[in-house]
Amino acid sequence: MAVVSVLLPLPLPEAFDYVVPPELTLGLGDVVEVPLGQNLRIGVVWAVKPDSDGSNLKPVKSRFDSPAFSPALRQFIDFAARYLVTPPGQVLAMVLRQPEALGPGPFERLAVATSLRPEKLNEARARVLAYAQEPIPRAALAKVAGVGSGIVTALLKLGALEEIERPVDLPFDPPDPHLPARPLSEMQADAAHLIAKAVRAGGFSPFLLDGVTGSGKTEVYLEAVAQALIARPDEQVLVLLPEIALTQAIVARFEQRFGATPAQWHSDIGAAQKRRTWREVAAGRARIVIGARSALFLPFAKLSMILVDEEHDSSFKQDDGLRYHARDMAVARAKFEQATIVLGSATPSMETRLNAEAGRYQRLLLSSRYGVALLPEVSLIDLKEYPPERDQWLSPVLVQAMAETLKAHEQILLFLNRRGYAPVVLCRKCGHRMKAPDTESWLVEHKYSNRLVCHLTGFSMRKPDACPTCGAADGLVSVGPGVERIAAEATERFPGARIEIFSSDTAHNPQAVRELVGRMERGEIDVLIGTQIVAKGHNFPNLTLVGVVDADLGLKGGDPRAGERTYQMLSQVAGRAGRADRPGRALIQTHYPDNEALQALVMGDRDAFIEAESLGRAAVGAPPFGRMAALHIMAQTDEAADAAAQAASDALFPADGVEVWGPAPPPLAMIRGWRRRRFLIQSSKEVDLSAFMAAWRRGFRVPGSVRVSIDMDPYSFL
């Protein structure tokens, strides 16, 4: 009797066994429907046991016609589960996110003209038949022909029209890699050739594409993909982007180069488009896929190349649900798929640099900007020496530079990574700070809407007229600047300038992003004030001045990557200036001009900063010279959180090379009413930290009302 183990997309510790009924033939990776309790569940055959006793087992209900999951995908799921210390079913749930794509349909019924012509062919009927030379929905046919539905029905009865059924999810148009490309520099052409050569050879080949801002990394991607598609016409390419806002610009570049729109996968596309993408990826017909981090879990049939753009970006880290870093998991998936992977960045992460220096990745260098463009000149403004005026936030030095730039009819970008008008609202009389209910997060004032918003939970309220604690009228004051406050100051100083804000509040979907970026590219904006969304992937030819309002913001807190992140962010935003034939400059406001990251930006000496940063991290064993993990405990009361934390402490066991700190409340000790406790764990690189965390977690139990999660390689320390 044949028995199969079926992995279900649920947080269960193992696969369940089912007997295979005689009418079914099942193999590894087949997608099936099986009973679980009183319900039917979708799962994947994870093991086949041909000669087993299945007498006490429930039978498999059915098999879907969807292609079987490849060995590489199943191995990747098992690896990710072990590494992330999570049940494999939770990883499988990331793959099986579109169950409606497994079966046939949906279908649409279309009308199309036949060769038969009715005896009474009046003008209306002739018009209908003319429009029906190609299949068209019945309702649409009547509308475009300007007739009633009865005429269409009559022609169907007479046989002059026939109805056909067609799947709604049509295949994507195939890309044409032979279309003309933009001319490449010698460095670009060499890099693209080496990547394509690796694809042709097959096998796991990791690359670091290390190119300064404006060096044309996207053109290298396009040429490498073109050569790869020519060499391997039936295989697939995945392009991972850190921000949804970047997707449309990259899609447009790929569409222009290959004459076909790539498949997309991100949270801003609808369920129907996701169903189509999932189905075409699984069938191997979606040749190029562009998406956010979760696109990594699509069931590719023949994946030969992965491109990770802006690989250093912290947006690749998923901090809730399945906690994973898409860059690291992309490298793992490429290894199982025996594929080429390219990690591209102007400011590579220390993890990626270390792998390149150790020879595990091949480094491809683009050391200069494309064409005549030059890197911008970077200068620091010491706010202790040149402070802004009272209740203002722009130094006189930056204001003067803005005036000169506007006089030259050039564009300005002001960068501040804070949304809203002010990050804190407090009462000047009693000191009360406005916070979100059941959360330690401060409410951010949004002046234009007169609301206070929690960017952590989404809570929103109208700004009260009086302090809710002491009742002082007009006692609430705004503390610190956000982008709205900088926009107000810029408008006051330059009343004739066209000023806009670029943040997730003003550009909340891809269409809004496209429109705003288009206005900037066409020169319809003089001063653009933005958060981190503006620092990535945008090319504004007339932008010559970048002003960083608060360079110190990212240096605060206990994040071991704070210096690296600050350098990367400021380098990226400064790199928006001078990307065409006009020289650019960046002015950075700071209270700490001697900071190593800021000095490296001014000197243009990235390697010196990385060396100093590496020495500091290596001395304390911080990543990438050691490994880190976090164990999070959440409960509805402090007593329950403390009791669960004590149970976890009691289960700890000694392990060489492992240090555990905690439990302690993190900076945000309460979110949405959940009390939080956290352990931080650090180990040497030689320790299998995932195995340690798994063994520790098995050693203690908590009530069902308490949530426990493990975060391998944490990026957020709030």
Give the domain extent around 35: 3-96
Q: Are 288 and 388 within one domain?
A: no
Alpha helices in 207-338 (DSSP H): 217-231, 247-258, 271-283, 326-337
Alpha-carbon distance of 206 to 192, in angstroms, equals 13
pLDDT tens readout for residues 570-628: 888 887 787 666 788 899 999 999 888 888 888 888 888 888 888 888 888 889 999 99
Residue finishing a domain among 347, 366, 385: 366
In a domain? residue 457: no
Query: Do 632 and 611 share a structural domain?
Result: no
Do 201 and 264 fall within a single domain? Answer: yes
Instruction: Say how far apart CA 306 and CA 323 lie, in whole Å.
Output: 21
- Please report whether residue 456 resides in a domain: no
Residue-wise pLDDT for 65-108, tens only, equals: 999 999 999 999 999 999 999 999 999 999 999 999 998 888 88
CATH number at residue 607: 3.40.50.300
What pLDDT sits at residue 438? Answer: 81
Task: Flag whether 175 is in a domain.
Answer: no
pLDDT-derived band at 248 (thresholds 50, 70, 90) equals confident
What's the CATH number where 646 sits?
A: 3.30.70
Is the per-residue pLDDT at 234 higher than 80? yes
Domain assignment of residue 447, yes or no = no
Contact indicator for 72, 337 with CB cutoff of 8 Å: yes
- In sign, the C-alpha dihedral spanning 223, 224, 225, 230 is positive
Residue 551 has pLDDT above 60, yes or no: yes
What six digits make up the tokens of 450?
């007169």
Note the pLDDT tens digit of each residue in 404-423: 999 999 999 999 988 899 98
Render 238-269 in DSSP notation, one character per residue: EEE-S-GGGHHHHHHHHHHHHSSPPEEESTTS
Same domain for 191 and 320, yes or no, is yes
Asked if residue 268 has pLDDT above 90, the reply is: no
pLDDT at 114: 92
Choice among 160-164, 186-190, 239-243, 670-674 with the minimum mean pLDDT: 670-674
One domain, residues 567 and 668: no
Beta-carbon neighbour count of residue 698 at 10 Å? 10
134 lies in the same domain as 261:
no
Same domain for 558 and 683: no
Domain stops at, among 96, 124, 157: 96
pLDDT tens-digit readout, 295-347: 999 999 999 999 999 999 889 999 888 999 999 999 999 999 999 999 999 88
Q: Are 261 and 172 in contact (CB under 8 A)?
A: yes
Show which of 587, 615, 643 is a domain's final residue: 615
- Residue 227 to residues 206, 221, 553, 635: CA-CA distances in angstroms? 17, 10, 43, 54
> CATH number for the domain including 44?
3.40.1440.60
Residue 42: which of 111, 108, 109, 89 has the closest Cα?
A: 89
Each residue's pLDDT tens digit, 464-507: 989 988 888 888 888 889 999 999 999 999 999 999 999 888 87
CA dist 500 to 414, 417, 487, 520, Å? Answer: 10, 15, 7, 9
By three-state DSSP, how is residue 695 classified? helix
**Same-domain check for residues 401 and 302:** no
Residue 384 lies in a domain: yes
Rg of the Cα trace of the chain? 29
Rounded to whole angstroms, what are the CA distances from 57 to 2, 421, 594?
11, 62, 70
Query: Which DSSP state fits 117?
Result: -
Asked whether residue 332 falls in the same domain as residue 252, the answer is yes
For position 558, what pLDDT does the model report? 65
Q: Which range (368-377, 511-520, 611-620) has the least confidence?
A: 368-377
Mean of pLDDT values over 191-216: 91
At residue 274, the pLDDT reads 94
Q: With a cut of 80, say whether residue 192 has pLDDT above it.
A: yes
Whether 567 maps to a domain, the answer reads yes
What pLDDT is attached to residue 679? 97
- Among 149-153, 359-363, 367-371, 401-405, name the one with the lowest average pLDDT: 367-371
| Rounded Cα–Cα distance for residues 162 and 558 (Å) | 69
426 lies in some domain: no
CA distance 449 to 452: 9
Q: How far apart are CA 194 and CA 196, in angstroms?
A: 6
Tally of structural domains, the chain: 5
42 pLDDT band (50/70/90 cuts)? Answer: very high
Under DSSP, the state recorded for 114 is -
**Which of 165-169, 272-276, 322-326, 351-355 is least confident?**
165-169
544 lies in the same domain as 647: no
What is the pLDDT confidence band of residue 537, given thresholds at 50, 70 and 90?
A: low
pLDDT at 117: 87
What rounded mean pLDDT belongs to the chain? 90
142 located within any domain: yes
In this prediction the pTM is 0.88
Least confident window among 281-295, 599-613, 666-680: 599-613
pLDDT bin (cut points 50, 70, 90) of residue 658 is very high
Q: What is the mean pLDDT of residues 507-511?
A: 77
* Residue 94 to residues 17, 83, 298, Cα–Cα distance (Å): 22, 16, 8
Q: Are 57 and 122 within one domain?
A: no
Residues 29, 144: one domain? Answer: no
